[in-house]
């Protein structure tokens, strides 16, 4: 069952297009993460879902209701959509106690006093903040304030919960703790969640589905495993993952993708390839390897080392070919030892890359 559907959704601000022709079907109970770099349109999309921005084109459906369709003159106001939203800022009423903040949307929805009291008690306990009920927001920490904001959002039992980078103001330890809490809250409520972030760790930890956006357009949507194992575009391959896939640029000559004089892969079917993709764990540090790597970082990680470096630029293979030079490129590989930053080493490539991508970025 689809709880949330976007059909050709678009938003323009003057001549600038923030979101273009976005189509998504979100199944009931899913945790969808809108992921992408700054300016990709993810927050604008969330605000259109919430009713805080009016779409320029397309349609939004929540359950069996169309809540936005500018062509038909339909725009259901935010307070009548049955959604809840957790903002980046906590947006708590400073003159109200924690208990009163959480009870406020229930009072607006005309819940009885007894039902309000029972529901507030329930959600405060679920978020481990029952002992803070009579304090004001000024008397509790930032992490506790964010828990209050989450409690206030889920108290009315919305069918769809929207999160606008809710962890960005928290320190590293609190981010992890609150991320775990959000996962528990999602599973316990059964609500469909839409979560905006640029943090891939958050996305991969929380999501049942990830939609990767770039320049206002959808690059790919699927489960985290689907996107990691079979990225549809070079952008998704190079953006998603910790560390992401390694993309080596080259040019296709006579049916072979080459980086300078280095043969990367045969290109099937007369196609033109521009990038070869390798898994970070499949590359090996080897003084006799094929590719130079100028090391800039070497970070311990779970018994291995994440070695980050620059692959130097190489000249295009044919004078006048019209191809641009490839590199330099920043990549990260998984190594079994530390490599001193500031030194040069070499990489041994697998015999066959994991994927090839064409000049338009699409997977071949």
Domains, in order of start, for the chain: 2-229 (3.40.50.300), 251-357 (no CATH)
CA dihedral 163, 43, 35, 123 (to 10 degrees): 0
Distance CA 230, CA 69 (A): 34
pLDDT exceeds 70 at position 72: yes
H/E run at residue 32: strand 31-35
pLDDT of residue 320: 38
**pTM, rounded to two decimals:** 0.90
Compute the mean pLDDT over every residue in the chain, rounded to the nearest whole number.
92
Residue 263: how many other CB atoms lie within 10 Å: 14
CB 47 within 8 A of CB 68: no
pLDDT in tens, 85-137: 998 888 899 999 999 999 999 999 999 999 999 999 999 999 999 999 999 99
Residue 324 banded pLDDT, cuts 50, 70, 90: very low
Any idea which of 57-66, 75-84, 297-306, 322-331 has the lowest mean pLDDT? 322-331
CB 145 within 8 A of CB 92: yes
pLDDT exceeds 50 at position 236: yes
pLDDT in tens, 9-47: 999 999 999 999 999 999 999 999 999 999 999 999 999
pLDDT of residue 323: 46
* Rg of the chain, C-alpha, whole Å: 24
pLDDT in tens, 335-347: 999 999 999 999 9
Any idea which of 105-114, 161-170, 310-319, 324-333 has the lowest mean pLDDT? 310-319
Any idea which of 93-97, 172-176, 203-207, 279-283 has the lowest mean pLDDT? 172-176
């Amino acid at each position: 069952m689809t709880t949330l559907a976007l059909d050709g959704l678009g938003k323009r601000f003057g001549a600038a297009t923030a979101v273009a022709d976005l189509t998504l079907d979100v199944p009931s109970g899913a945790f969808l993460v809108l992921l992408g770099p700054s300016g990709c349109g993810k927050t604008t999309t969330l605000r259109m879902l919430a009713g805080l921005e009016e779409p320029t084109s397309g349609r939004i459906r929540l359950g069996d209701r169309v809540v936005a369709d500018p062509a038909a003159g339909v725009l259901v106001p935010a307070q009548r959509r049955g959604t809840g939203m957790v903002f980046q800022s906590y947006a708590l009423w400073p003159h109200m106690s924690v208990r009163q903040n959480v009870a406020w949307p229930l009072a607006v929805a005309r819940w009885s006093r007894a039902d309000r009291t029972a529901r507030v008690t329930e959600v405060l306990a679920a978020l481990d903040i029952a002992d803070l009920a009579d304090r004001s927001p000024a008397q509790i920490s930032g992490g506790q304030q964010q828990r209050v904001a989450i409690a206030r959002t889920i108290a009315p039992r919305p069918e769809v919960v929207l999160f606008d980078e809710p962890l960005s103001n928290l320190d590293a330890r609190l981010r992890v703790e609150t991320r775990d809490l959000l996962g528990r809250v999602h599973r316990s409520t059964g609500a469909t969640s839409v979560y905006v972030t640029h943090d891939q760790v958050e996305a991969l930890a929380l999501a049942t589905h990830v939609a990767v956006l770039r320049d206002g357009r959808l690059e790919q949507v699927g489960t985290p495993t689907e996107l990691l194992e079979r990225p549809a575009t070079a952008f998704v391959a190079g953006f998603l993952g910790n560390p992401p896939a390694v993309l080596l640029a080259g040019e296709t000559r006579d049916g072979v993708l080459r980086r300078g004089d280095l043969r990367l892969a045969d290109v099937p079917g007369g196609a033109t390839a521009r990038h070869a993709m390798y898994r970070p764990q499949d590359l090996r540090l080897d003084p006799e390897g094929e590719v130079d790597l100028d090391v800039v970082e070497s970070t311990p990680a779970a018994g291995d080392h994440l070695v980050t470096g620059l692959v130097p630029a190489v000249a295009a293979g044919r004078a006048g070919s019209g191809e641009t030079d490839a590199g330099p490129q920043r990549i990260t590989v998984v190594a079994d030892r530390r490599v001193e930053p500031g030194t040069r080493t070499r990489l041994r490539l697998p015999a066959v890359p994991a994927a090839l991508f064409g000049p338009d970025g699409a997977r071949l």
